[in-house]
Amino acid sequence: MGLMQKGQAGSSLQSHAQAAEALLAWYDRERRTLAWRAPPGTKQDPYQVWLSEIMLQQTTVKAVTPRYATFLRRWPDLNSLARAELGEVLAAWAGLGYYARARNLHACARAVVGEHGGAFPETEAELRQLPGIGAYTAAAIAAIAFGEHATPVDGNIERVVARFFCVETPLPAAKAEIKTLAESLTPAMRAGDYAQAMMDLGATICTPRRPACGLCPLRPGCRACAEGLAEVLPYKAEKAERPTRRGAAFVAMRADGAVLLRERPMKGLLGGMLETPSTPWEETAPNGNAVADHAPVEAAWHKTAGLVAHTFTHFHLELSVYRAEVGDDAALTEAAQAERCKWLQRRELSGAALPSVMRKVLAHAFEAKRHLTSPRRGEVALQARVRGSKLQRG
Ligand code: SF4
């Protein structure tokens, strides 16, 4: 079915204007209470809309809510966030994942202060020029904070629109078509409320599985519901399998409780975050020599039992974990010195810019240490010494 035909098919049951009106009436009754949402009839703070929208990318409302409150307490406005150090922002972001968002958040705050006098530009086109603000976020801020006639399309809205118009082209090929159809539904007035109504409908009624069509204000015009396709749309093209990368992580612990960490390069995955020193992450697991070459301190390294697994957007990661107890005067290898390694006390770890995968690595190493009631029990008896000597069975 072509684009116009689908729009017209919907119109024959419930015009676009009627659908928008029904949706807004539903929103006025049923809207979710969210920490970043202004009460009905009051103006939204652009800073709060922007902050919440960046946090909500790839993350659930449940996960974002407490972190949003913490962020807002610490940096209540754009100027305070712009004055913060990047490391502080990354540390506060730890656990939310997709750390490029935190780097861009900080860069965007500085850009708005430096280039726009501290006030967000009000149009979708201008917002789009700022760091970390893509098509969806620009439209969401423009509509919700400034009332511009803009149409954000996130995963929830994509699903509602695909169903309402019965778009059978699989995603992601259908994205442009869905965006056009979504725009055709957006009313001239209350574009911000309308966008939030669509988000709420997708989150609470038109859910991925078992949509509650009987409660839906769009049901009179919904083609997928009429054709019995509500539960299966939108179709999705099969995704390529995620590859697996493997590596070894080194957890060096001093008697005073300090742990050796290094800063990742600013650009790329987990940029600017802290990690334990590691071998490169590659398709094949590192062999004994590779492990010995990358250990950051001269020490007896013990391989702990099991693996730490973590899934990123584009690959799975499996890390074997080596741990060593070292003296206070432990000398770093030349490579480790060049890699911006530093010692952090255990009590500082909770507030450090450590991504989830590295928290798993540290927990794994600490847990292995806790279980050591007899010499090396709970660990694979395998040792590595850096600088030339081979791995040994201990
Ligand atoms: S009627 Fe059902 S499928 Fe259609 S928009 Fe509403 S909940 Fe989604």
pLDDT over 50 (residue 188):
yes
For residues 191 and 184, what is the distance between their CA atoms, to the nearest angstrom? 12
3-20 tens-digit pLDDT: 334 444 444 457 899 999
86-98 tens-digit pLDDT: 999 999 988 888 8
The pair of structure tokens assigned to 146 is 């400034």
pLDDT over 80 (residue 23):
yes
**Residue 329: its pLDDT value, please?**
85
**Residue 164: its pLDDT value, please?**
97
The pair of structure tokens assigned to 37 is 């949402």
DSSP SS3 for 26: helix
Q: How far is the CA of 200 from the centre of ligand 1 (A)?
A: 12
For residues 199 and 19, what is the distance between their CA atoms, to the nearest angstrom? 15
In degrees, rounded to 5, the angle at the alpha carbon of residue 38 between the alpha carbons of residues 64 and 15 is 100
Does the domain at 244-393 match CATH 3.30.70.20? Answer given as: no
Q: Are 250 and 277 in contact (CB under 8 A)?
A: yes
pLDDT, mean of residues 354-377: 77
pLDDT over 60 (residue 373):
no
For residues 316 and 353, what is the distance between their CA atoms, to the nearest angstrom? 21
Mean pLDDT of the chain: 88
pLDDT, mean of residues 42-66: 93
For residues 330 and 146, what is the distance between their CA atoms, to the nearest angstrom? 57
Strand partners, 258: 345
Q: How far is the CA of 25 from the centre of ligand 1 (A)?
A: 16
Task: List the CATH code of the domain at 3-226.
Answer: 1.10.340.30
98-119 tens-digit pLDDT: 888 999 999 999 999 999 999 9
Q: How far is the CA of 161 from the centre of ligand 1 (A)?
A: 9
Categorize the per-residue pLDDT at 372 as very low, low, confident or very high, splitting at 50, 70 and 90. low
236-293 tens-digit pLDDT: 998 888 999 999 999 999 999 899 999 998 888 888 889 999 999 999 999 888 888 8
Categorize the per-residue pLDDT at 375 as very low, low, confident or very high, splitting at 50, 70 and 90. very low
For residues 173 and 236, what is the distance between their CA atoms, to the nearest angstrom? 9
Of the candidates 335, 278, 332, 336, the one whose C-alpha atom is nearest the C-alpha of residue 308 is: 278
Q: Which atom of ligand 1 is nearest to the CA of 213?
A: 2
Residue nearest to atom 2 of ligand 1 (CA): 213
Alpha helices in 213-300 (DSSP H): 223-226, 288-294
Q: Which atom of ligand 1 is nearest to the CA of 205?
A: 7
Q: Which of 219, 223, 232, 233 to mutate to test the pocket of ligand 1 (most atoms within 8 A of CB)?
A: 219
For residues 288 and 388, what is the distance between their CA atoms, to the nearest angstrom? 11
Strand partners, 259: 253, 344
Q: How far is the CA of 227 from the centre of ligand 1 (A)?
A: 11
Q: How far is the CA of 49 from the centre of ligand 1 (A)?
A: 27
- Residues whose beta carbon lies within 6 Å of some atom of ligand 1: 160, 163-164, 205-206, 211, 213, 216, 218-219, 222, 224-225, 230
Residue nearest to atom 4 of ligand 1 (CA): 222
Q: Looking at per-residue confidence, does 2 or 282 come out higher?
A: 282
Residue nearest to atom 3 of ligand 1 (CA): 230
149-158 tens-digit pLDDT: 999 999 999 9
126-142 tens-digit pLDDT: 999 999 999 999 999 99
55-87 tens-digit pLDDT: 998 888 999 999 999 999 999 999 999 999 999
* pTM assigned to the model: 0.74
State the amino acid at position 378 in one-letter form: G
For residues 302 and 382, what is the distance between their CA atoms, to the nearest angstrom? 6
The C-alpha R_g of the chain, in whole angstroms, comes to 26
Active site residues: 53
Residue ranges of domains in the chain: 3-226, 244-393
